Structure 1
Amino acid sequence: MIRVEIAGFTYLGLDHLILPLRAGVLAADGRALGGVPERLAMLARQLKIHVLADPADARMGAMLDGVPCKWVSLPHLGQAEAKRNYVEQVGVDHAAAIGHGRGDVPMLEAAALGIAIFGGLGLSCEAARHADLAVRHTVDALGLLLWPDRLIQSLTLSTDNAGVAGAH
């Protein structure tokens, strides 16, 4: 669990990280993005990692060999709502989600913490509006969770009240 109290925002008690396998979030050109498997492996000590994949992407699973995570197959049609439903299934109050496309909006909106990434494919304006914060790369998003003081710095309403972070 990752616990973070953010002044003027909320208290986060995160147990789950949910992210899509598709290009731009975990992979590019059929390969894992640099640094992502290593950081996911570190986070797996604190959070349950859920990778959402289209059945057509199943062959890409090997890129995360050695990373303890749960693979979730999504229907080919209706993936946006399936992502939201999955966040609701694991518990919205205890889930963080990472995404960048319009199809990620329901998931980013539902999660206690939604992180949008720019990545090499860009960031949809709609995803940016519904996320709690945006970063340039998945590695940066994972870093926010590994080092929660970074979340506090980004989301604290006022510098007068410092948040308290701790990973358990």
Structure 2
Amino acid sequence: MKSRAGWVVPIPGAATLCLRHLLLDFNGTLAYEGALIEGVAERLVALSPLMDVEVLTGDTYGTVERALAGLPVRHTVVATGADKAARTRALLTAGVAAVGNGRNDVDMLSLATLGVAVLGPEGAHARALTAAQIVAPGILAALDLFLHPQRLVAALRP
């Protein structure tokens, strides 16, 4: 549910999850070989009223601007995982969820209020899986966690 604090989900037996920002990796997470995975665009549109959505990418294929054109998300091309971690740190006090799959996502996932690793068609780095609090079988399932918060409750409750 959305509040002035951002997206808020009470987790029974644990702290309430408050998130204002959603940071997303692009290649291997939202996109496969540089093309947006089918179903992602609709979910990004649905999530944008709930949280500030931002894509952080090395833009391996040079397609991020075209792929995200017209969608209500910001994107930033970054050089390293350290850049993703710095952006995460800058937003942390407002609450940030991060979703990624690669080696350069490890610090972003571990620093975020909530880190979600994605097992996609391009695979996932083993350290990304251990840095995240939740591992999703694909990007659609990962984004659906935020659209259907009871799924997060089920995964995070002690």
Task: Give the structure 1 partner of residue 3 of structure 2.
Answer: none
Q: Name the Cα RMSD after superposition.
A: 1.6
Q: 2:33 aligns with which of 7, 24, 29?
A: 29
Alignment partner of 2:10: what SS? strand
2:78 pairs with 29, 54, 74, which one?
Answer: 74
2:47 alignment counterpart = 43
CA distance in 2, matches of 1:123, 1:7: 30
Q: Name the residue aligned to 1:60.
A: 64
Larger RCO, structures 1/2 (Cα 8 Å, 6+ apart): 1
Q: After superposition, what is the alpha-carbon deviation per residue over 1:114-161, rounded to whole angstroms, capped at 9, x for unaligned?
A: 00011112222211111001011111110000111110011111xxxx
Decide whether aligned partners of structure 1 residues 36 and 92 sit closer, same or farther in structure 2, where only a CA change above 3 A counts: farther
- Deviation by residue 1:76-117 (Cα, 9 ceiling, x = unmatched): xxx111111000112255100001112111000010000001
**What do the CA deviations read for 1:41-60 (whole angstroms, capped 9, x no partner)?**
10001111111122665533
Q: Does the CA contact (< 8 Å) of 2:21 and 2:94 recur in 1? A: no
TM-score, with normalisation over the residues of structure 2?
0.89
Q: Which runs of 5+ in 2 are unaligned?
A: 1-5
Which residue of 19, 24, 28 maps to 1:19? 24
1:10 match: secondary structure: coil
Q: Distance in 2 between matches of 1:32 and 1:91?
A: 27
Moved more, 62-71 or 30-39: 62-71
Residue number in structure 2 paired with 1:144: 145
Aligned residues: 153
The DSSP-based 3-state class of the residue aligned with 1:152 is helix
Return the offset for 1:8: 3.8
For 1:41 and 1:58, the matched residues in 2 are separated by 22
* Counterpart AA for 1:17: L
Find the counterpart in structure 1 of residue 15 from structure 2. Answer: 10
- Structure 1 residues not aligned, in runs of 5+: 158-168
Quick one: percent identity of the two aligned structures? 32
Aligned to 2:130: 129
Larger-Rg structure: 1
